[in-house]
Amino acid sequence: MSEITTVGLDLAKNVFQVHGADGAGRAVLRKKLRQAQALEFFSQLPSCVVAMEACGGAHFWGREIGKLGHDVRLIPPAYVKPFVKRQKNDAADAEAICEAAQRPSASWSAPAD
């Protein structure tokens, strides 16, 4: 498997959707995680960029994932929407978040302390 450089994480109440891409932007990981599995999953993942849509829970998860050595970025939902390629669902949102985070002009914020 290619090395994951960027992960798009779509947050929900109980189930999170993960989309990982390599340096060329190819999808190398698509996974559904229960909320309780998230920190264990990210602790085993090599250090990379983890992006998620900015929302109330994103700051908490961003801080927790950042403690594991990942570069966390919060993206405004309005900047993610243009990258959704098909019907709106959690997997498509995770892919769009990942794609938006890979843009060279992207300067997203880090989670608040």
Q: What tokens does 109 get?
A: 């914020």
pLDDT at residue 112 greater than cutoff 70: no
pLDDT at 62: 94
Over residues 36-60, the mean pLDDT reads 93
* Strands of 49-53's sheet in order across: 27-34, 15-21, 6-10, 49-53, 71-75
For tokens 């983890």, name the residue: 50
pLDDT at 85: 84
Side-chain half-sphere CA neighbours of 63 within 13 A: 7
Q: Domain boundaries in the chain?
A: 6-101
Q: Which fold has domain 6-101?
A: Nucleotidyltransferase; domain 5 (3.30.420)
pLDDT tens figures, 53-110: 998 889 999 999 999 999 999 999 888 888 888 787 888 899 999 999 988 766 666 6
